């Protein structure tokens, strides 16, 4: 007896307890198996690129905060690097060191959320999520000491920083850095060999190496697929070439590899911060930059290794106080290109996990 | 350190294989003609020694007389990069060949350029608006939009 | 199987309650109906409190602590809130099915408690087929859940309901088989007799049966790590997505009441029911039920969720063969070793359980992978 079945369309809609932001997936299901999936986004499009053309170069910095709102320091850094490349401004040593510290702290904070949310999607009902947030609170407190803000920092400026770090920052950072590796180890022990997590995440949502390169994936997604490409090593910006760190890569490119790559990257970030802390020189934190920056006519593209991937800013200047064109190369948007290839053939439950393991932020995807 | 290849050197190399495709070449940039974009991109991707297998980003800029598309290409194996540009002088119905069949990463980026700038790409499998809703009139990122 | 009498006869210090205490059949029935309803409702509320507070403390946060001392009155506050909410019925859903579903999901729980002994003889009806009655009635609530999923005209609900039906049907078998092991040792299907036969708690004599029943019970009542029927992060709220107000409260209460049922059955069958020294028997019963529930909360907080095909694979390929083997071994022990010393039989059983579980987990693959499309 042949059962007549028909596929139905399930709208894993923009408002959902688990999609990271307002993201819609139109999934065609045959029972529980996903046979087609179409991502629809644009719900958070705010026209940041157009707005940037109407603000001064410094005025664009708060706009960049809101791109990947979970990693604001990195966005700021990418933008100010692009402006500095365009205008030929150099940055004092102290500011360079502080930039590296803040960027790596931001990487840890962003990966904590990524891993916590991934495990939450796996069903571990907020327990790992809340443990991650406990550590993230410490980082956010450090950032609050520095910039006064907990989420959207708006702290970096073209040429350095406007205000130096307060005195309490370095001792508090020291305390955090001494506790963090212990926490990552504890977390690893709790979850790395968990049978259910392995069953859910190993072999699920494989992104093969050639496909990862072809879709311009970057960040942990690319590295988990086996490609050893990290902008901090391949095209070092700021002063990253002075420090020693490894680049964790995965083998297969499944969800479990992406999870492990992120955990390892957190360890490497702590290592970098420890090295930088020994070497911070004293001095001023901002070089002499005019109040309204007018770069000469030209264009520049600067990219950094943001927690989500390669974040790039392409700036075109026509010697006025506002950028002529500011284009943002968003890593989350490009990492999403292979969503269909990764999800088709798996079940609804896996679709959510695979989507969570790519770790996107809608602020970046839609801009 | 990613070496940014000299545009003029690469242009010479391209001109040997595909004549009459380069419109100008400087130290930083290789500018190609709109129609031959796909062949040049294919050559850049597949030729030994260049091997540009990674498309970093595509940007469209609206200079009032023309649209300029900027392709940042990178090679992961050799760790060098190149900037490829092309111009489109038609403002009413600009079209360019799509490079999606070479680099799938161009998929969403070309859709976004179509959505916000209005440039259509021939050969794109799914050219729909991506950031704005279907039925939106106009292309907001153009300089003459508001 | 008569284990050598260790001399502790916990049933002796309080007289066995006659079946028509206090005065005739109808008074007995009335008193026990009131006791059961009060017990189920109060304990369900207590369980909600234990879960929220216990889970919160395990997650490094406080949990409810405003309403009443230590937040004890939080479930009451929740109940009042939920009663005051608007009752939304989906326009395209089947109205009668939608209305009837919470009722059908909840009342079997109350019915099961008719045969659970709170004290020696203190149960509504000392049926000779107690266990069979329990197993039969507990499946009715699944029908209620499926009706909820169908009557909501919502694809998420339908997915949740389908998963529910598939897995409850699969898990009935290992659960029932592990219960049969207990019945074989006790020699009776009546729950009161089973408790009376537990001079040594059956968890020690039937460790494998306990494990199987615990896992199978978790899966049947939709608790983590098997809570896929209402997996928050996947199908919004599963079968009760479209419910609000009092009907949602019924489902919520039914979930905790079912947890109460499983805890009570485990306490009765494996931990010795109301037996224990010094304290009054019904207090022992309550303590054991709370202890089992605490373990359920613990597993919920710690473990991630399995996928539906992994759940089915677990039932059919792991639990079912083990349940059969457990049954066969128990039957062999009852037949060939009727008078056995406890300190011999317990380690033997525990060793058998460890060996089987290890062996099976080596050869067991949790579900299949990608389907070619």
Give the whole-angstrom CA distance, residue B34 versus residue B22. 10
Give the whole-angstrom CA distance, residue C117 versus residue C268. 8
Q: Given CB atoms, is C59 within the 8 Å cutoff of chain A?
A: yes
Q: Do B53 and A337 touch (CB under 8 A)?
A: no
For residue C145, say if its preceding peptide bond is cis, omega within 30 degrees of 0.
no
Mean pLDDT of chain A: 87
Secondary structure element (H or E) that encloses residue B81, with its range? strand B80-88
Give pTM, 2 decimals.
0.87
* Helical residues (DSSP H) of chain A, grouped into ranges: 48-52, 61-65, 72-87, 93-122, 127-147, 169-191, 195-201, 209-214, 220-224, 231-234, 255-278, 331-335, 339-343, 348-358, 362-366
Burial class (CB in 10 A: 0-12, 13-18, 19+), C140: middle
Q: Do C302 and A345 touch (CB under 8 A)?
A: no
Q: Given CB atoms, is C63 within the 8 Å cutoff of chain A?
A: no
What CATH number is associated with residue B23? 3.30.460.80
Of B71, C231, B103, C165, the residue nearest A334 (C-alpha): B103
pLDDT score, position C373: 65
pLDDT score, position C293: 92
Q: What is the pLDDT of residues B74-95, one digit of tens each?
A: 888 888 888 888 888 888 888 8
Number of domains present in the structure of chain B: 1
Give the whole-angstrom CA distance, residue C364 versus residue B135. 53
Per-residue pLDDT band at A108 (split at 50, 70, 90) = very high
Q: Coil, helix or strand for A40?
A: strand
Tokens of A126: 């907020």
Tokens of A73: 């320091």
Per-residue pLDDT at C8 exceeds 50: no
Give the whole-angstrom CA distance, residue A323 versus residue C109. 68
Q: Is the Cβ–Cβ distance between C321 and C360 less than 8 Å?
A: yes
Q: What is the pLDDT of residues A140-181, one digit of tens each?
A: 999 998 888 888 888 888 888 888 888 888 899 999 999 888
Of C137, C139, C138, C159, the residue nearest C148 (C-alpha): C159
- Tell me the residues of chain A between 220 and 239 that have a Cβ less than 8 Å away from chain B: 227, 229, 234-236
**Is the pair C, B in contact (3+ CB pairs within 8 Å)?**
no
Per-residue pLDDT at A1 exceeds 70: no
Q: Do A200 and C307 touch (CB under 8 A)?
A: yes
Average pLDDT of A190-205?
81
Q: Coil, helix or strand for C70?
A: helix
pLDDT score, position C4: 36
What phi, psi does B19 have (nearest 5°)?
A: -70, 155
Average pLDDT of C114-139?
82
Neighbouring C-alpha atoms within 13 Å toward the C-beta of C48: 23
Question: What is the span of the domain harbouring residue B14?
Answer: 3-90
pLDDT score, position A106: 92
pLDDT score, position C6: 36
Q: Among C155, C233, C236, whose Cβ lies nearest the Cβ of A123?
A: C233
Tokens of C325: 């083997």
Give the whole-angstrom CA distance, residue A335 versus residue B71. 18
Q: What is the pLDDT of residues C252-302, one digit of tens each?
A: 888 888 889 989 999 888 888 777 788 788 888 899 999 999 999 888 888
Residue-range domain boundaries for chain A: 54-366
Per-residue pLDDT at C62 exceeds 50: yes
Q: Coil, helix or strand for B65?
A: coil
Domain assignment present for residue B104? The answer is no
Q: Given CB atoms, is A203 within the 8 Å cutoff of chain C?
A: yes
Secondary structure element (H or E) that encloses residue B121, with its range? strand B120-122
Q: Is the Cβ–Cβ distance between A262 and A309 less than 8 Å?
A: no
* Lowest model confidence (mean pLDDT) among A220-224, C172-176, C220-224: C220-224
C partners (3+ CB pairs within 8 A) are: A
Average pLDDT of B26-48?
84
Q: Given CB atoms, is C161 within the 8 Å cutoff of chain A?
A: no
Domain assignment present for residue B138? The answer is no
Tokens of A19: 């999609």
Cα B118 to the chain's mean position, in Å? 15
Residue-range domain boundaries for chain C: 87-363
* Lowest model confidence (mean pLDDT) among A151-160, A248-257, B18-27: B18-27
- Tell me the residues of chain C between 229 and 248 that have a Cβ less than 8 Å away from chain A: 231-236
Q: Given CB atoms, is A49 within the 8 Å cutoff of chain B?
A: yes
Q: What is the pLDDT of residues B101-127, one digit of tens each?
A: 888 888 888 988 888 888 888 888 888
Per-residue pLDDT at C171 exceeds 50: yes
pLDDT score, position A140: 92
Per-residue pLDDT at C367 exceeds 80: no
User: Who wins on pLDDT, C123 or A161?
Assistant: A161
Q: How many other C-beta atoms lie within 10 A of the C-beta of residue B129?
A: 16
Q: Given CB atoms, is B105 within the 8 Å cutoff of chain A?
A: yes
Average pLDDT of A236-262?
88
Tokens of C221: 């009542």
pLDDT score, position B66: 86
Q: Among A10, A17, A347, whose Cβ lies nearest the Cβ of C155?
A: A10
- Its CATH architecture, for the domain A54-366, is Orthogonal Bundle (1.10)
User: Who wins on pLDDT, C41 or B25?
Assistant: C41
Average pLDDT of A131-144?
89
């Amino acid at each position: 007896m042949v059962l007549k079945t028909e596929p139905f369309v399930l709208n894993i809609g923009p408002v959902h307890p688990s999609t990271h932001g307002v993201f819609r997936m139109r999934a065609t299901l045959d029972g529980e198996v996903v046979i087609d999936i179409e991502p629809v986004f644009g719900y958070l499009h705010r026209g940041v690129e157009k707005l940037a053309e109407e603000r001064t170069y410094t005025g664009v910095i708060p706009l960049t905060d809101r791109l990947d709102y979970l990693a604001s320091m990195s966005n700021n850094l990418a933008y100010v690097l692009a402006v500095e490349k365009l205008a030929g401004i150099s940055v004092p040593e102290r500011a360079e060191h502080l930039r590296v510290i803040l960027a790596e702290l931001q990487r840890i904070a962003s990966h904590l959320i990524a891993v916590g949310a991934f495990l939450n999607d796996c069903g571990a009902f907020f327990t790992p999520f809340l443990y991650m947030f406990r550590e993230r609170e410490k980082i956010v407190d450090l950032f609050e000491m520095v910039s006064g803000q907990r989420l959207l920092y708006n702290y970096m400026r073209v040429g350095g920083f406007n205000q130096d770090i307060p005195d309490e920052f370095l001792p508090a950072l020291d305390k955090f850095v001494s506790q963090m590796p212990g926490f990552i180890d504890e977390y690893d022990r709790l979850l790395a060999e968990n049978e259910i997590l392995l069953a859910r995440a190993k072999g699920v949502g494989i992104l093969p190496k050639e496909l990862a390169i072809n879709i311009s994936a970057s960040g942990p997604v690319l590295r988990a697929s086996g490609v050893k490409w990290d902008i901090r090593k391949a095209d070092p910006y700021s002063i990253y070439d002075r420090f020693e760190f490894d680049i964790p890569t995965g083998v297969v490119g499944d969800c479990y590899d992406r999870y492990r790559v992120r955990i390892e990257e957190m360890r490497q970030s702590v290592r970098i911060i420890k090295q930088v802390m020994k070497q911070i020189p004293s001095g001023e934190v901002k070089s002499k930059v005019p109040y309204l920056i007018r770069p000469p006519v030209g264009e520049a593209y600067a990219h950094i290794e943001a927690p989500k991937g390669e974040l790039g800013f392409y700036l075109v200047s026509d010697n006025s106080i506002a950028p002529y064109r500011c284009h943002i190369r968003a890593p989350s948007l490009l990492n999403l290109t292979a969503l269909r290839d990764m999800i088709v053939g798996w079940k609804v439950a896996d679709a959510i996990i695979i989507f969570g393991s790519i770790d996107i932020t809608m602020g970046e995807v839609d801009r | 350190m990613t070496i940014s290849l000299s545009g003029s050197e690469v242009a010479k190399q391209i001109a040997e294989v595909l004549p009459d495709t380069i419109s100008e070449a400087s130290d930083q940039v290789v500018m190609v003609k709109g129609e031959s974009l796909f062949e040049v991109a294919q050559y850049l991707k597949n030729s030994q020694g260049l091997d540009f297998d990674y498309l970093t980003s595509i940007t469209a800029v609206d200079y009032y007389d023309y649209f300029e598309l900027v392709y940042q290409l990178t090679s992961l194996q050799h760790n060098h990069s190149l900037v490829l540009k092309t111009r489109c002088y038609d403002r009413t119905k600009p079209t360019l060949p799509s490079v999606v069949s070479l680099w799938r990463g161009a998929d969403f980026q070309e859709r976004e350029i179509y959505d916000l700038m209005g440039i259509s790409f021939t050969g794109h499998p799914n050219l729909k608006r991506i950031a704005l809703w279907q039925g939106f009139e106009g292309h907001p990122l153009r300089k003459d939009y508001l | 199987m008569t284990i050598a009498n260790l001399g502790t006869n916990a049933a002796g210090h309080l007289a066995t309650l006659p079946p028509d205490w206090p005065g005739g059949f109808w008074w007995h029935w009335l008193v026990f109906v009131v006791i059961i309803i009060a017990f189920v409702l109060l304990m369900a509320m207590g369980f909600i409190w234990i879960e929220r507070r216990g889970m919160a403390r395990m997650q490094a946060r406080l949990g409810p602590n405003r309403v009443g001392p230590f937040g004890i009155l939080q479930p009451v506050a929740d109940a009042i809130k939920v009663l005051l909410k608007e009752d939304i019925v989906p326009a395209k859903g089947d109205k009668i099915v939608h209305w009837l579903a919470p009722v059908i999901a909840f009342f079997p729980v109350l019915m099961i408690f008719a045969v659970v002994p709170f004290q020696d003889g203190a149960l509504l009806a000392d049926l000779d087929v107690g266990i069979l009655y329990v197993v039969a009635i507990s499946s009715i609530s699944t029908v209620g859940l499926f009706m909820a999923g169908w009557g909501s005209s919502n694809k998420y609900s339908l997915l949740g309901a389908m998963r529910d039906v598939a897995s409850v049907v699969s898990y009935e078998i290992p659960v029932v088989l592990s219960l049969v092991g207990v019945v074989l040792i006790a020699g009776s299907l009546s729950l009161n007799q089973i408790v009376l036969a537990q001079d040594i708690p059956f968890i020690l004599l039937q460790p494998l049966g306990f494990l199987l029943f615990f896992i199978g019970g978790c899966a049947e009542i939709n608790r983590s790590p098997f809570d896929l029927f209402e997996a928050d992060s996947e199908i919004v709220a599963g079968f009760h997505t479209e419910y609000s107000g009092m009907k949602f409260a019924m489902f919520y209460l039914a979930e905790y009441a079912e947890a109460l049922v499983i805890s009570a059955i485990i306490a009765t069958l494996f931990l010795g029911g109301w037996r224990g020294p010094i304290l009054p028997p019904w207090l022992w019963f309550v303590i054991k039920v709370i202890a089992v529930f605490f373990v359920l909360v613990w597993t919920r907080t710690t473990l991630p969720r399995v996928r539906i095909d992994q759940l089915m694979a677990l039932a059919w390929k792991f639990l079912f063969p083990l349940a059969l083997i457990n049954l066969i071994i128990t039957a062999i022990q009852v037949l060939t070793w009727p008078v056995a010393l406890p300190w011999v039989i317990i380690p033997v059983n525990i060793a058998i359980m460890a060996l089987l579980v290890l062996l099976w987990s080596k050869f067991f693959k949790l579900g299949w992978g990608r389907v070619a499309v």
